[in-house]
Amino acid sequence: MSLDDLEEAVQQGISYYNSWSDVCEGDTVRIYRTQHEDEAGWDNCWVEEMDEHVGDGCLYTVRRVEGASGIRLDEISGICWPWRSLEKIIGFQLPLPF
């Protein structure tokens, strides 16, 4: 793969990501599904450690969006998550105490 091809693939991944999920730094997300390598332009690989976080009921904060490489979360270091594995949580509020 040439450098031009690589740059084009990264741009396609970023464009797809931005149009699909609209997740930004600081957003709250949950991890709801696994993803195959190279699915939807994700330029990374799924590792076994990621499985334990899928559907765990936890909410995470987006630290950084890295285009086709994926998305880094504050609470889980060393992993770049595929954007299609994340669901943005809109209007999240803690329950009121009674």
Kindly state the average pLDDT of the residues 45-67: 92
Q: Confirm whether 35 is domain-assigned.
A: yes
Q: What are the pLDDT digits (tens) for 86-97?
A: 988 887 554 555
| % of the chain residues with pLDDT over 70 | 70
Domain housing 35: 3-88
Angle at 77 between CA 76 and CA 82, to 5 degrees: 70
Kindly state the average pLDDT of the residues 60-68: 90
What predicted TM-score, i.e. pTM, was given to this entire model?
0.69
Q: What are the tokens at 9?
A: 């693939």
Task: Please check the confidence at residue 3 and state whether its pLDDT lies above 80.
Answer: no
Phi, psi values for residue 74, rounded to 5°: -60, -40
Higher pLDDT, 59 or 93: 59
Q: Count up the domains in the chain and report the number.
A: 1
Q: What is the 3 state secondary structure string of the chain?
A: CCHHHHHHHHHHHHHHHHHHCCCCCCCEEEECCCCCCCHHHCCCCCCHHHHCCCCCCCCEEEEEECHHHCEEECCEEEEEECHHHEEECCCCCCCCCC
